[in-house]
């Protein structure tokens, strides 16, 4: 980022937060959706075992994605940048 | 890392820096296909699915075949990238990016096929609002969402160092590359973080990919229909997907090797190894197919046999035997000896397999529906121009997405090649020495 | 709670298809036209299937096939959006407004009892049955045991402040059959004709081995033959 003026640097940082925010929204949205389907299945007295069973596998997986994305963002963009050699 | 280590790397950045006439010509051709598809779909959207060849009892045809086919192609990325990365196969380095991009682009096309197939696409939000998890279609939706998320992440993470190179080297799109590079400077800490994250994703992506095509197969095997209600479908479809995925990857590699002059990076040895993998998958595919049909034939249940004979000698025999030719005979002949004419042989085999695997999906979907259990009038399915157009448009759209990607990001992973040059030789040497007989106190 | 079911006596069925025509008139089933019929797109909630016997030349059997209203329906399992479901009285309902037209239920039904509107075959017009909706393109439809008639009968009983009489509820096909081959009623009521016939030694279910538990029970032809 050395070749960019100060204002652009702030813009870039802002957009990077937006970028991670999008990933967060995507994954979070999918988890919220799965939970919504479980609730709908319970309300309509349908086969709730299917919803719960699948969410037990699916939700942890999506949480891991979120974790990886945040880890990389933190490690590369935030924490990692302070140690520019 | 701003300096180029190797003048050959120029060729990896060339498609991003410059655009030639070939690109515009390709875009024009693809646009024509996409236009055909768009017109076909708009006719279908306004008039109804009646413009296709579907009818009672064959309610599923080209679109569902395409859905299974395209999702199958998406298994290219996982196999090559994840499995080869985890098994530390060094020859993967120029291939991983191409494979990962295929996966990401083709999933959209595959999922789109289902939307095209809906009688009421204006109600597609109903799946989100009122989805039922007992239905295999919802398993599909969840699994494909997981796979898409995983693949996008798994594509993006190894791209970060390359985007940093673009950020430092190129004059154009400075904002885009700066944002996406996340401030990468190649420090040891950043590299450790990235490698750890990539390793986690590589492990995670494999079971997700297996689940995706298993779940696609469950759409058929969870029904009670003869020739569908079979326990082999899960593994069968996964094997078929990896099979068609590798073939798709090889064709893509050959096209771009030619178009972007990547001969320095994509050498015959890469195609030879992929060709050997393809041969193994052909044999595996044949084994599953043989087991499936032998079981049906030996049991001789009347309804299953109706469908069996329709494929072997009945109305579907040209498609069935063409499938066997394309998926087994041609690959075996081409791939048995790959020392000479590697790329030509591997190309012919891959093109045959792509056609053959499409036919395999067709042979699974349509014959079962054509021969109902009850004495219902039988169906003869003939696709119309709408379905051909939609298929052509889908291929065109996928190719266009892929082509546009190569204009923004390097299609071969620059930093992984560098890593291969700089550290891998020593690392592999140390690894091999650790395998050879030695003293027990060697650190594990 | 009632469990609505049907018994069809194959010995009485002459294959006249009065049930088919009555059903189409009652439920606003569209006439798709000759071209569409040639392409295999006839919609016929009640359909008379013909089975020829390979071993006895010239013997033919007529099987009127409505939706078999299974108690363990393969179609409701696979619907992604709650557009088809089994209601507490045993009827498998179809919600046209929810259906997204994926046709999974059609692929799953072993009896081919579900039909699809490949085009918008008709608009709302005078002369149609006002109690039944007119379906647009892109949705699946099937026999509902003339569920609107049940609603009518219930509402009438409510309005007249009396008990609802189950024998007042008769689907169009049962009403129209000239030989009284189709008997309809409450399978849970041991006194009803339908419940008694369902236990007849001649009773059988189509593809019972699939475990769908259909509530349309057939009576096979007697000693005299079909």
pLDDT digits 0-9 by tens, C164-174: 999 999 999 99
pLDDT by residue (tens digit) across B157-179?
999 999 999 999 888 888 899 99
SS3 content of chain B, % helix, strand, coil (to 5): 75, 0, 25
The shortest C-alpha distance from A81 to chain B (Å) reads: 7
Question: Hey, which chains touch B, using 3+ CB pairs under 8 Å?
Answer: A, C
Pick the residue with more confidence: B7 or B19?
Answer: B19
Contact map slice: C 30-89 vs B, CB within 8 A: 36, 39-42, 47, 49-51, 63, 65, 74, 77-83
| Residues B381-387, mean pLDDT to the nearest whole number | 95
CA distances from residue B107 to A34, B212, B401 in whole angstroms, order as listed? 20, 11, 12
Cβ-proximal residues to C21 (8 Å cutoff; 6+ apart), any chain: C176
Q: Does A29 touch chain B (CB under 8 A)?
A: no
A37 with B138: Cβ contact below 8 A: yes
- Domain residue ranges of chain A, discontinuous segments joined by +: 22-82
CA distance B52 to B195: 49
Instruction: For residue C53, give the chain B residue with the closest CA.
Output: B375
- Asked whether the predicted pLDDT for residue B387 surpasses 70, the reply is yes
Q: Domain containing B63: what range? A: 12-419
CATH of the domain at B119: 1.20.1630.10
> Residue C115: phi, psi to the nearest 5?
-125, 155
User: Which of the four pLDDT bands, split at 50, 70 and 90, describes residue B3?
Assistant: low
Do the chains contact at C98 and B135, CB–CB below 8 Å? Answer: no
Q: Kindly report which listed range (B269-278, B434-443, C108-117, C120-129) carries the lowest average pLDDT score.
A: B434-443
What was the pLDDT predicted at B441?
59
Scanning every residue of chain B, which has its alpha carbon at the shortest distance from the alpha carbon of C51?
B375
Q: What are phi and psi of B359, to 5 degrees?
A: -65, -35
Percent of chain B with pLDDT over 70: 98
The answer, yes or no, to whether residue B442 has pLDDT greater than 60, is no
**What is the average pLDDT value for chain B, to the nearest integer?**
93
Using DSSP's 3-state secondary structure scheme, residue B305 falls into helix
Answer whether residue B6 is part of any domain.
no
Q: How far is B281 from chain A (nearest CA, A)?
A: 29
In this model, does residue B4 exceed pLDDT 70? no
- Could you tell me which of B407, B190, B1, B162 has the C-alpha nearest to residue A2? B1
Is residue B184 domain-resident? yes
In a domain, B279, yes or no: yes
pLDDT of residue B322: 97
More confident residue, B75 or C226: B75
At residue A5, the pLDDT reads 66
**Contacting subunits of C (3+ beta carbon pairs below 8 A):** A, B
A3 has a pLDDT exceeding 60: no
Q: How far is B142 from chain A (nearest CA, A)?
A: 8
CB-CB under 8 Å, B131 with C112? no
Computed from CA positions of residues B409, B415, B421, B425, in that sequence, does the dihedral angle turn out positive or negative?
Answer: negative
The pLDDT of residue B1 is 44
What are the contacts of C200-205 at 24+ separation with CB within 8 A? C200/C7, C202/C11, C203/C7, C205/C68
Taking an 8 Å cut-off on Cβ atoms, the answer to whether A62 and B189 are in contact is: no
User: Any idea what DSSP says for residue B264?
Assistant: T
Please indicate whether residue B7 or residue C194 has the higher confidence score (pLDDT): C194
Q: Express each pLDDT in A48-71 by its tens digit.
A: 898 999 999 999 999 999 999 999
Tracing tokens 């045959």 back to the chain, one arrives at B352
Closest CA in chain A for residue C85: A46
All residues of chain B having their beta carbon less than 8 Å from the beta carbon of residue C106 are 57, 59
In a domain, B442, yes or no: no
User: Which of B156, B178, B206, B222 to probe the A interface (max A CBs under 10 A)?
Assistant: B178
DSSP secondary structure string for all residues of B62-110: HHHHHHHHHHHHTHHHIIIIIIHHHTT-GGGTTTHHHHHHHHHHHHHHH
Those residues with Cβ within 8 angstroms of residue B52's Cβ, 6 or more apart along the chain or in another chain: B44, B61, B62, B63, B383, B384, B386, B387
For residues B210 and B214, give the distance between their C-alpha atoms in angstroms, rounded to a whole number. Answer: 6
pLDDT for B296-322, tens place per residue?
999 999 999 999 999 999 999 999 999
What is the model's pLDDT at position B105? 95
| Residue A32 to chain C, least CA–CA distance (Å) | 18
- Position A10 scores a pLDDT of 87
Q: Is B119–C111 a contact, with Cβ atoms under 8 angstroms apart?
A: no
Chain C residues touching A44 at Cβ < 8 A? 82
The DSSP annotation for B161-213 comes to HHHHHHHHH-SSSHHHHHHHHTT----HHHHHHHHHHHHHHHHHHHHHHHHHH
What is the SS3 assignment for B318?
A: helix
Tell me the mean pLDDT in the region B374-396. Answer: 92
Q: Which residues of B touch A30 (CB under 8 A)?
A: 145-146, 149
Q: Which of C50, C81, C140 sits opposite B126 (nearest CB)?
A: C81
What's the token pair of residue C198?
Answer: 């369902």
Q: Which residues contact B253 (CB under 8 A, 6 or more apart)?
A: B95, B98, B266, B270, B271, B274
* Any B CB within 8 A of A16 CB: yes
b/e per residue, C70-106, with b = 16+ CB within 10 A? Answer: bbebbbbbbbbbbbbbbeeebbbbbebebbbbbbbbb
Query: What residues form DSSP beta bridges with C85?
Result: C93
Predicted pLDDT of residue B9: 85
Q: Can you give the pTM of this predicted structure?
A: 0.94
Helices B342-370 and B302-312 cross at an angle (nearest 10°) of 140
The string over B409-436, giving b where at least 16 C-beta atoms fall within 10 Å of a residue's C-beta and e elsewhere, is bbbbbbbbbbbbeeebeeeeeeeeeeee
Shortest Cα distance from C127 to chain B (angstroms)? Answer: 25
B218-257 pLDDT, tens digit each: 999 999 999 999 999 999 999 999 999 999 999 999 999 9
In a domain, B248, yes or no: yes
pLDDT, tens digit, 9 for 90 and up, residues B53-90: 999 899 999 999 999 999 999 988 877 789 999 999 99
CA-CA distance, B286 to C60, in Å (whole number)? 43
Predicted local confidence at residue B440, as pLDDT: 66
**Domain count for chain B:** 1
Please report residues of B whose CB lies closer than 8 A to that of C108. 223-225
pLDDT band at A85 (very low <50, low <70, confident <90, very high): very low
* Residues of chain B in Cβ contact (below 8 Å) with chain C: 47-50, 54-60, 114, 117-121, 123-124, 126-127, 130-132, 134-138, 141, 219, 222-225, 369, 372-377, 379-380
Is B118–C102 a contact, with Cβ atoms under 8 angstroms apart?
yes
Least confident of A20-34, B109-123, B196-210, C49-63: C49-63
The pLDDT of residue B2: 46
Nearest to B134 among C51, C77, C100 (CB): C77
Those residues of chain C whose CB sits closer than 8 Å to some CB in chain A are 82, 85
pLDDT at A80 over 80: no
Domains and CATH numbers, chain C: 4-219 (3.30.70.20)
CA distance, residue C170 to nearest chain A CA (Å): 29
Q: What is the pLDDT of residues C64-94, one digit of tens each?
A: 999 999 999 999 999 999 999 999 999 999 9
Q: Which residues contact B433 (CB under 8 A, 6 or more apart)?
A: none
Q: Please give the pLDDT value at position B7.
A: 81
The shortest CB-CB distance from B132 to any of C80, C137, C139 is to C80
Q: Which residue has the tokens 């009489």?
A: C165
């Amino acid at each position: 980022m050395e070749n960019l003026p100060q204002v652009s640097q702030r813009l870039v940082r802002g957009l990077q937060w937006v970028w991670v925010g999008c990933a967060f929204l995507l994954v979070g949205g999918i988890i919220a959706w799965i939970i919504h389907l479980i609730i709908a299945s319970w309300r309509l007295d349908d086969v709730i075992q299917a919803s719960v069973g699948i969410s037990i596998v699916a939700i942890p997986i999506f949480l891991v994605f979120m974790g990886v994305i945040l880890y990389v963002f933190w490690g590369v963009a935030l924490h990692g940048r302070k140690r520019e050699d | 890392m701003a300096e180029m280590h190797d003048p050959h790397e120029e060729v990896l950045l060339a498609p991003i820096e410059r655009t030639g006439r070939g690109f515009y010509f390709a875009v024009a051709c693809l646009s024509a296909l996409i236009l055909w598809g768009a017109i076909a779909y708009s006719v279908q959207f306004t008039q109804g699915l009646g413009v296709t060849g579907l009818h009672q009892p064959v309610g599923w045809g080209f679109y569902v075949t395409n859905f299974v086919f395209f999702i199958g192609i998406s298994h290219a990325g996982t196999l090559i990238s994840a499995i080869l990365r985890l098994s530390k196969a060094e020859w993967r380095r120029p291939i991983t990016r191409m494979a990962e991009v295929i996966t990401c682009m083709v999933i959209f096309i595959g999922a789109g096929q289902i939307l095209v197939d809906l009688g009421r696409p204006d109600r597609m939000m109903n799946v989100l609002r009122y989805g039922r998890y007992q239905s295999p279609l919802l398993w599909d939706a969840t699994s494909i969402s997981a796979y898409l998320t995983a693949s996008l992440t798994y594509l993006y993470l190894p791209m970060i160092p390359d985007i940093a190179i673009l950020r430092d080297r190129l004059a154009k799109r400075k904002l885009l590359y700066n944002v996406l590079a996340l401030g990468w400077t190649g420090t040891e800490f950043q590299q450790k973080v990235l490698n750890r994250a990539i390793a986690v994703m590589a492990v995670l992506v494999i079971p997700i990919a297996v689940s995706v095509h298993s779940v696609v197969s469950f759409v058929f095997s969870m029904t009670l229909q003869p020739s569908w209600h079979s326990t082999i479908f899960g593994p069968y479809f996964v094997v078929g997907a990896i099979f068609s995925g590798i073939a798709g990857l090889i064709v893509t590699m050959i096209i771009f090797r030619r178009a972007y002059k990547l001969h320095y990076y994509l050498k015959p040895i890469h195609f030879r190894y992929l060709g050997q993998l393809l041969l193994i998958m052909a044999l595996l595919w044949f084994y599953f197919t043989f087991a499936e049909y032998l079981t049906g034939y030996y049991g001789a249940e009347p309804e299953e046999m109706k469908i069996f004979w329709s494929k072997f000698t009945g109305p579907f025999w040209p498609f069935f035997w063409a499938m066997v030719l394309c998926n087994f005979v041609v690959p075996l002949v081409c791939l048995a000896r790959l020392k000479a004419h590697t790329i030509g042989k591997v190309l012919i085999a891959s093109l045959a397999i792509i056609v053959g695997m499409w036919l395999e999906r067709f042979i699974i979907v349509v014959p079962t529906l054509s021969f109902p259990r009850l004495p219902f009038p039988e169906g003869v399915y003939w696709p119309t121009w709408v379905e051909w157009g939609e298929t052509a448009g889908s291929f065109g759209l996928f190719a266009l997405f892929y082509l546009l990607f190569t204009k923004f990001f390097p299609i071969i992973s620059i930093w992984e090649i560098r890593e291969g040059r700089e550290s891998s030789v020593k690392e592999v040497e140390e690894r091999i020495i650790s395998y050879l007989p030695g003293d027990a106190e060697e650190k594990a | 709670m009632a469990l609505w079911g049907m018994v069809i006596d194959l010995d009485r069925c002459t294959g006249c298809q009065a049930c088919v025509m009555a059903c189409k008139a009652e439920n606003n089933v569209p006439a798709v036209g000759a071209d569409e019929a040639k392409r295999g797109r006839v919609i016929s909630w009640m359909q008379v299937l013909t089975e020829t016997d390979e071993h006895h030349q010239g013997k033919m059997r007529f099987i009127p096939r409505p939706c078999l209203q299974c108690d363990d329906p393969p179609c409701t399992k696979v619907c992604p959006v709650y557009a088809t479901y089994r209601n507490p009285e045993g009827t498998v309902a179809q919600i046209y407004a929810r259906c997204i037209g994926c046709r999974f239920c059609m692929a799953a039904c072993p009896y081919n009892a579900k039909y699809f509107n490949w085009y918008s075959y008709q608009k709302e017009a005078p002369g149609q049955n006002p109690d039944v909706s007119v379906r647009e393109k892109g949705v699946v439809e099937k026999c509902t045991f003339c569920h609107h008639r049940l609603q009518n009968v219930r509402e009438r009983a409510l309005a007249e402040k009396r008990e609802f009489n189950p024998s007042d509820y008769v689907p169009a096909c049962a009403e129209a059959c000239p030989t009284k081959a189709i008997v309809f009623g409450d399978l849970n009521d041991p006194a009803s004709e339908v419940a008694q016939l369902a236990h007849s030694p001649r009773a059988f279910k189509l593809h019972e081995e699939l475990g769908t538990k259909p509530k349309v029970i057939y009576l096979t032809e007697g000693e005299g033959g079909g």
